[in-house]
Structure 1
Amino acid sequence: MAQTKESESRKLLGRLRDTLAEDGAGQERLDRITSLIADSMRTEVCSIYLFRDHETLELCATEGLNREAVHQTRMRVGEGLVGAVAKKKQTINTADAPSSKGFRYMPETGEEIYSSFLGLPIQRLGDTLGVLVVQSKEARLFSGDEVYALEVVAMVLAEMTELGAFVGEESALGALHQNPILVRGTIGQEGVAEGHVYLHEPRVVVTNPVADDPEVELERLRDAVKALRISVDDMLSDVDTKEKDQREVLEAYRMFAHSRSWMKRMEADIDRGLSAEAAVEKEQSLARARMANVPDAYLRERLHDLDDLSNKLLRLLTGQGSNTGAEMPDDPVLVARNIGPGELLEYGKSLRGIVLEQGSVGSHAAIVARALAIPLVIHASKITTEALNGDAILVDGEQGVVHLRPEDSVASAFRDKIAMQTEASKAYTDLVGKDAVTPCGKTITLNMNAGLMADLPSLSSSGAEGVGLFRTELQFLIRNSVPKRGELATLYGRVMDAAQGKRVVFRTLDIGSDKVLPYMKPQDEPNPAMGWRAIRVGLDKRGVMRMQLQALIRGCAGRPLTIMFPFVAQFEEYRAARMMVDAELANEKRLGHVLPSSIEVGAMLETPSLAFAPDQFFKETDFISIGGNDLKQFFFAADRENERVRRRYDTLNVSFLSFIRQIVDRCEAHGTPVSFCGEDAGRPLEAVCFAAMGLKSLSMRPASIGPIKHILRQVNLDAIAELISSAAARGEQSVRKDVATYLADQGIKT
């Protein structure tokens, strides 16, 4: 019986293919398709709804409903059963549609006499293009085989919709991919860039969704999977044995490439009538739909691996090549839905900019982009749908804005902005060997943040006096298993070699929240930013903490060592971590290993609670680094991933600056060195105000050191401190405008 159903499915697809091959305008094709689907499914009604815009569905063709309703009936996403299918991207199968929750009566269609309803999203790779519906008077649920058959048809319709098969010359549907587009996103990494689009996952055009001969398609699939496995093996063999990070990423691809369940599902799809390409894409679309609904970061990363592998397989089947024929331009701006850290590292510093539809300010990709100093905009909605390979693109990482195919006037103004920054950067070169000494006689130490070996050359070229923060978690995030102690010791040694005697502050593993290790059991936490993360993980998983401390001690090879613990919320956490350091030093001495010539152990102050720790904490810690990104979000109770609230609160809020002053005062009272580390330290107005609050050390991205040094050498910090005090006395909310006005009056450009 099952075989009969499968044959009917193939028969329907064959009829659909023949219909699509016939000449005719888009409307004629849609009308013929609804007629044949209704006939094949033995239903009185078949209707196709397509998106007119991002929020509106339009009835574009029907068999069984009132024909006069075509192009007249519209509904918002979420409205009625059809709108619910579009919103949830899920099938609705009901025997009693009029009584179903959300049912909307549309008198112009005459559909109230039909009881059964089966609606499916017409979607391709996560993008919903419309809704396919069949209805009948008989009150019944559609069978699993019937649902499957319609799913396959909906997928073919999605392919044809994207290829423009249903777009007539007078239709308002469909994107032209020609007009200038402004996309507003979120700042992931500051900086500006001009270039041309290079799609990380270029669309593979599947022109033959229906199989002529299932046996031929099965053979094509098996040959392509075999070639895919060989290519993954070849990539693994080509990777240098020292490049453990890349090897771990490719090992994950190998695991998925050999997945038997994945292969069986695609073979079953071909049996139902799909071509090899369509079978791969059907499973990829289902995986993307799951990915969109998975809250767990670990599972999303794993589904992303499968998604990437599906793209490679599609390119093998279609013969469109790894880049669908597009050469990487000389000035590439990478555009993608999302990207893993390993993949981004493979591109390296060749990229001018990065634009992602997904991601977060603390995602793996954002961390790597910051380490490589590449401008990044995230949450750029629909950018992969709108952009084509080779399109001109402008990335403004300082405003979180992307200009796709910009008009000449916009491009000209943008180039002027880049030219001004380039000209200014030349002036900063002369400051490399000079100190950041203010006119009022205060010296501010400027350090750089880092996380990869690729960052270290910036230590000398930027004029940084040391590394104020080395993010050790990157080496854990880009692997699929815990790195070995010896590998880490070698890396830490190479970092210190590259620093050439300058101080490097190694922050211990800062994971959890939005930084989830691929091999760590995911934690279902309602608020991960305030959950099991950073030092809390280290103190609970002592084996990992001990291994990293041992690697740091051995990597320094007798040189001075500086260790900093992240996200310390109370004195006891720091004390417990410090005791672990002392225990490992004693153990290393007992084993006869070389100990550091000196050691400093500090804490990141990222929670307001630590600012009120007992005096003993400030006496015992060797130094404190204010972690501005986290401290600000907890101070204002505003999640920095939440666009609705994070922009409401200003770093130069008088209350926040007063809090910084209190921390500095407590540290000074006990002789504890204190610095500010974070993105805000690299912004001119913020840096000036932090220094005016008494901070004598700032740590930032390398590119910011020149501009910050330039402005500090011109500013009287005593005057800024007085200005802040006056604003507080007047009850001002923020000093941003006052400080900007003062600097402008002094002729100081920011």
Structure 2
Amino acid sequence: MPEQTETESRKLLRRLRDTMAEEAAGQERLDKITHLIADSMGTEVCSVYLFRDEETLELCATEGLNPQAVHETRMRLGEGLVGRVARTGKIINSADAPKEKGFRYMPETGEEIYSSFLGIPVQRLGEKLGVLVVQSKEARLFSSDEVYALEVVAMVLAEMTELGVFVGEGAALKARHQQAVMFRGTTGQEGAAQGHVWLHEPRVVITNPVAEDPEKELTRLREAVDDLRVRVDEMLAGAPSGDKEQMEVLEAYRMFANSKGWLRRMEEDIGRGLSAEAAVEKEQSTARARMAVISDPYLRGRLHDLDDLSNRLLRILTGQGAQTGAEMPPDPILIARNIGPAELLDYGRSLKGIVLEEGSVGSHAAIVARALAIPLVIHAERITTEALNGDHIMVDGDQGVVHLRPDETVVAAFRDKIAMQAKAQERYASIRDKPATTLCGKTISLQMNAGLMADLPSLDGSGAEGVGLFRTELQFLVRNQMPRRSELAALYSRVLEAANGKRVVFRTLDIGSDKVLPYMKPNDEPNPALGWRAIRVGLDKPGVLRMQLQALLRAANGRPLSVMFPFVAQYEEFTAARAEMDKALARERILGHAIPEHIEVGAMLETPSLAFAPDKFFEMVDFLSIGGNDLKQFFFAADRENERVRRRYDSLNVSFLTFLEQIVARCAASNTALSFCGEDAGRPVEAACLAAIGMPTLSMRPASIGPVKSVLRRVNLDALRGVIHDARDRGDMSVRGAVMEHLRNGG
């Protein structure tokens, strides 16, 4: 680029910085900015449009259009050329704007028909804030240098908007990070909590987007990049030598950190007037824009690496991030884009709630949140950019809703809900030690699910009769290397001791699909939920399965032991897994170790195929546990992580209940113990229906036992079964409506 253009660009930014420094109200400052941009670029018009809500843009300042149109002219996302820039996040540079697709003439602005149009998105790290526009009567395309200069100005405007520099009268100029905002996400773990925001990774705030001394900024950038390269080298040196995947990621980090092109582009941005921090963020925004349109997982992964490196570089430059010195509030609600299980366990039970922008209902974070009984909402888009440490926040895990900086009306309603839940808990506590015996005299066994030692105190507190499912994969997921047999044996022994004689069913390692061990090479599978997972991994890697079975046998140390294999799809898989248990038992006898006085070996029925296994399977297996979450998604061919399809299918669908009844009948004929484990077991209405069709045991999260027991003690299962069969005979698609009416009328 010619030196003159660099100078002009820097001159424009310097004038912009001086305007920012002047004592002026937000609107006045914004008006001055549009004037200086139009003057510097020699255009008749410069306008700034900002979002007043997610779908509407508002004209907030203009040079050249009717001043009366400011805060009055609005347009929908995608409407006109301005709306198109806002929707797509792409620049429109046209010498003949009226002929462009979607052009809209706005007479209320008093504008003439301007030929030339240049629209630049105002955005920060992918978050769309508005559009910066210049227009002129002269029919011409704006040069690449002019486009670049306006891009830089738009970026500075985004930073200033984030910092609240333009707070004013218009709806789009209300103080950011001070308004009440509601986020609709997805339930990851039920429950309600209120507290104050604690950001897992506080966003870096850039307060000096314009460089005062370019040479000084270049020095700062180069020193920070050198520091970053040293840190990446240290990370590589400390990585386990046998961990090929981790080494590949760190090598990609090193490649980017040493990229001359990356550094050169940032140096050029500084030469055009940006500070070191703003230059880094400009490149980061470019990487995120590319990520948004690239579907190839490998390329997205590499761009994510670059995005992460940019964050690290920004924290070196600003000194912000994890070492900010901020103190965690006494009632923290954790906010993060995503988080791993080990990091979440580090926080432990100190958290009152968790809100994630990403994640899934079956993710490691969700598993840990459920284990810790912490309300979790996932898919709360943009919350990390909107929330600030210390903000008041309310999390409704039941509805998947988050209220950030709520107003008094919401606060009052939310507190009423929490108070009602507290009263309900008192009612549940009063029946904690009573059996779940229905009005017709049938007693249902209620068990709890667990996965951590921290869950075990809930065994007595919830009134559970035992642990129907102890997930053993969490101990594998939170480590950077395979745990040792002795470590697992010690843990399983502590679990049995904490259970104080109550039955604990240990599920062997259930990995694969969305649960990938950090030290096991992931498989690039088109549909991992139907791929190499659970018992399939165990049978293909028998050394891991044998090690875990030996740890369980040693942990029992003569006590009764219950073990089940996950995701068994056919009889032969169970016989092969059972053979591994027999080998482990024989080895323990040879070594002189104590053998469990009684051992049960079961399977999880999570695929429809196993329901049609030969009679010999049902006779051989000691017990069956229906994994309702997986079974339902495979029965309906509806991915439970896909919001577009999973809500279409009801657990109380007649076809699904009929299928479950067939399983109940087969188990009854072979005298095989049966339980139902999953989210539906912990929902009172669904639990009552499962009990009505003959399910003798239900296993659920501890907090659900009270509500389920309360309903079961007030229902006649014989009458409810009649309601279910009548609905089926009528041809109803779901029995939910009929069942709800029956329960409302007294059951």
The alpha-carbon deviation at position 208 of structure 1 amounts to: 0.9
Please name the residue that 2:115 is paired with. 113
The alpha-carbon deviation at position 690 of structure 1 amounts to: 1.1
The alpha-carbon deviation at position 215 of structure 1 amounts to: 4.1
Write the distance in 1 (CA, Å) between the matches of 2:526 and 2:84.
27
Q: Where does structure 1 lack aligned partners over 5 or more consecutive residues?
A: 237-247
| Equivalences for residues 162-173 of structure 1 within 5 A | 162-170=162-170, 172-173=172-173
Please name the residue that 1:454 is paired with. 454
Q: Do the aligned residues in 1 keep the contact of 2:447 with 2:697 (CA within 8 Å)?
A: yes
Q: Which AA in structure 2 matches 1:547?
A: V
Q: Do the aligned residues in 1 keep the contact of 2:201 with 2:321 (CA within 8 Å)?
A: no
Write the distance in 2 (CA, Å) between the matches of 1:367 and 1:301.
24
Q: Where does structure 2 lack aligned partners over 5 or more consecutive residues?
A: 237-244
The superposition leaves residues 142-194 of structure 1 with CA deviations (integer Å, 9 ceiling, x where unpaired) of 54x66655443322110112223334335543456555544433221111223
Please name the residue that 2:643 is paired with. 643
Out of 303-312 and 603-612, give the one that drifted further. 303-312
Please name the residue that 2:548 is paired with. 551
Please name the residue that 2:358 is paired with. 358
Q: Does 1:394 align with 2:394?
A: yes
* Helix, strand or coil at the partner of 1:411: helix
The superposition leaves residues 671-722 of structure 1 with CA deviations (integer Å, 9 ceiling, x where unpaired) of 2221111111112222122112111111111112233334434443233223
The alpha-carbon deviation at position 450 of structure 1 amounts to: 1.7
Out of 155-164 and 294-303, give the one that drifted further. 294-303
Write the distance in 1 (CA, Å) between the matches of 2:719 and 2:417.
30
The alpha-carbon deviation at position 666 of structure 1 amounts to: 1.1
Q: Do the aligned residues in 1 keep the contact of 2:229 with 2:257 (CA within 8 Å)?
A: no
Please name the residue that 2:242 is paired with. none
Please name the residue that 1:335 is paired with. 335
Write the distance in 2 (CA, Å) between the matches of 1:590 and 1:564.
24
Q: Does 1:466 align with 2:466?
A: yes
The alpha-carbon deviation at position 554 of structure 1 amounts to: 2.5
The alpha-carbon deviation at position 550 of structure 1 amounts to: 1.3
| Equivalences for residues 547-586 of structure 1 within 5 A | 547-557=544-554, 559=556, 560-582=560-582
Please name the residue that 2:724 is paired with. 724
**Which of 256, 260, 279 in structure 1 is aligned with 2:257?**
260
* Helix, strand or coil at the partner of 2:173: coil
Write the distance in 1 (CA, Å) between the matches of 2:487 and 2:297.
26
The alpha-carbon deviation at position 271 of structure 1 amounts to: 4.9
The superposition leaves residues 115-157 of structure 1 with CA deviations (integer Å, 9 ceiling, x where unpaired) of xx765422113311123356786776854x6665544332211
Q: Do the aligned residues in 2 keep the contact of 1:95 with 1:139 (CA within 8 Å)?
A: yes
* Helix, strand or coil at the partner of 2:334: strand
Q: Do the aligned residues in 2 keep the contact of 1:298 with 1:518 (CA within 8 Å)?
A: no
Write the distance in 2 (CA, Å) between the matches of 1:80 and 1:215.
42
Write the distance in 2 (CA, Å) between the matches of 1:255 and 1:459.
46
The superposition leaves residues 223-258 of structure 1 with CA deviations (integer Å, 9 ceiling, x where unpaired) of 76788999999999xxxxxxxxxxx99999999699
Q: Do the aligned residues in 2 keep the contact of 1:201 with 1:311 (CA within 8 Å)?
A: no
| Equivalences for residues 259-278 of structure 1 within 5 A | 260-261=257-258, 264=263, 269-278=269-278
* Helix, strand or coil at the partner of 1:123: strand
Q: Do the aligned residues in 1 keep the contact of 2:493 with 2:555 (CA within 8 Å)?
A: no
Q: Which AA in structure 1 matches 2:57?
A: L
The alpha-carbon deviation at position 349 of structure 1 amounts to: 1.0
Please name the residue that 1:15 is paired with. 15
Write the distance in 2 (CA, Å) between the matches of 1:722 and 1:166.
65
Please name the residue that 2:241 is paired with. none
The alpha-carbon deviation at position 531 of structure 1 amounts to: 4.8
Q: Do the aligned residues in 2 keep the contact of 1:297 with 1:522 (CA within 8 Å)?
A: no
Write the distance in 2 (CA, Å) between the matches of 1:94 and 1:482.
59
Instruction: Please give the TM-score of this superposition, normalised by the length of structure 1.
Output: 0.82
* Helix, strand or coil at the partner of 2:347: helix
| Equivalences for residues 93-492 of structure 1 within 5 A | 102=101, 104=103, 106=105, 113-114=115-116, 119-133=119-133, 143=144, 149-170=149-170, 172-175=172-175, 180-218=180-218, 220=220, 260-261=257-258, 264=263, 269-289=269-289, 292=292, 314=314, 317-318=317-318, 322=322, 327-429=327-429, 431-479=431-479, 488=488, 490-492=490-492
Out of 357-366 and 524-533, give the one that drifted further. 524-533
Write the distance in 2 (CA, Å) between the matches of 1:269 and 1:343.
36
Out of 153-162 and 498-507, give the one that drifted further. 498-507
* Change in CA separation of 1:745 and 1:219 when aligned onto 2, cut-off 3 Å: same
* Helix, strand or coil at the partner of 1:686: helix
* Change in CA separation of 1:437 and 1:167 when aligned onto 2, cut-off 3 Å: closer
* Change in CA separation of 1:273 and 1:596 when aligned onto 2, cut-off 3 Å: farther
* Change in CA separation of 1:211 and 1:552 when aligned onto 2, cut-off 3 Å: farther
Write the distance in 2 (CA, Å) between the matches of 1:431 and 1:270.
68
Please name the residue that 2:239 is paired with. none
Q: Which AA in structure 1 matches 2:198?
A: Y
Q: Do the aligned residues in 1 keep the contact of 2:191 with 2:375 (CA within 8 Å)?
A: yes
| Equivalences for residues 646-661 of structure 1 within 5 A | 646-661=646-661
* Helix, strand or coil at the partner of 1:651: coil
The alpha-carbon deviation at position 424 of structure 1 amounts to: 3.6
Q: Do the aligned residues in 1 keep the contact of 2:58 with 2:172 (CA within 8 Å)?
A: no
Q: Do the aligned residues in 2 keep the contact of 1:192 with 1:375 (CA within 8 Å)?
A: yes
Out of 399-408 and 357-366, give the one that drifted further. 399-408
| Equivalences for residues 491-530 of structure 1 within 5 A | 491-518=491-518, 528-530=528-530
Write the distance in 1 (CA, Å) between the matches of 2:78 and 2:250.
37
The superposition leaves residues 322-376 of structure 1 with CA deviations (integer Å, 9 ceiling, x where unpaired) of 4867543322222344333333222221121223333322233222211110112
Out of 256-265 and 486-495, give the one that drifted further. 256-265
* Change in CA separation of 1:324 and 1:119 when aligned onto 2, cut-off 3 Å: farther
* Change in CA separation of 1:645 and 1:593 when aligned onto 2, cut-off 3 Å: same
Number of residue equivalences: 732
Out of 435-444 and 484-493, give the one that drifted further. 484-493
Out of 561-570 and 133-142, give the one that drifted further. 133-142
The alpha-carbon deviation at position 221 of structure 1 amounts to: 5.2
Please name the residue that 1:614 is paired with. 614
How much identity, in percent, do the aligned residues show?
69
Q: Do the aligned residues in 2 keep the contact of 1:359 with 1:365 (CA within 8 Å)?
A: yes
